[in-house]
Amino acid sequence: MPEIAGKVSSRPGVRRLVCAALAAGLLCAACSLDYQAATADEQAAEGIPDTVAIDLVHRIHRDGRLSLQLEAARAETFDSRKETILKNAHFIEFDSSGGKATEGTAARILYHSDTENAEISGAVRVHSAAEKGDVSAETLAWKNKEKSLSAPPDEQVLIRKDDGSFISGRGFTGDFRTRQVSFSGPVQGAYVWEEKKE
């Protein structure tokens, strides 16, 4: 290296040529970097996630206690939209004493971090410890503020109690505050009644 530098410095024409080549190289590198940044911005606007995580465990704490835990095989976060897409997900909502209030699984969850609402799809199953039963469907929507779970009007939803009672129908809405469910479409089911022995 010192030999080449010595030869370049002894010849002004070569020195100018090397400086011009370095300047052109730097200019091209700067243009290349700017172009890549612009391309990345365009791709991000079209739906490239800001973060991708594999085997994610995400915990939300409220008032010093764990209130929600989400696990997923893959998570994609979109910061500008305040959305996270969870694939092959398992979620648990905890009650005020730390026990499992609601637990479920789904192939996909679209979670809105600003509202804590979610659209849940793909072999959805949600179990309520308080109600001693579960809800299964292909698609459900959770509204956190209202504590309500609903399905599209034409979606078949099955509610099965741990004792074997069940009800199935369309147009499902469940209110977790009042512990009431309703169907707007055709419904069928069976009720298991056990006589209490005295």
pLDDT single digits (tens) 57-110: 889 998 889 998 989 999 899 999 999 898 999 989 998 888 999 898 999 989
- What pLDDT, in 10s, does the model give residues 150-195? 999 999 999 999 999 999 999 999 898 888 889 998 999 998 887 7
3-state secondary structure string across the chain: CHHHHHHHHHCHHHHHHHHHHHHHHHHHHHHHHHHHHHHHHHHHHCCCCCEEEEEEEEEEEECCEEEEEEEEEEEEEECCCCEEEEEEEEEEEECCCCCEEEEEEEEEEEEECCCCCEEEEEEEEEEECCCCEEEEEEEEEEECCCCEEECCCCCEEEEEECCCCEEEEECEEEECCCCEEEECCCEEEECCCCCCCC
Domain range summary for the chain, segments of one domain joined by +: 2-45, 51-189
More confident residue, 34 or 143: 143
- What pLDDT, in 10s, does the model give residues 2-47? 333 333 334 444 344 333 443 444 333 333 344 445 445 544 554 7
- Specify the pTM: 0.65
- Quote the pLDDT of residue 78: 93
Check whether domain 51-189 has CATH 2.60.450.10, yes or no: yes
- Quote the pLDDT of residue 120: 92
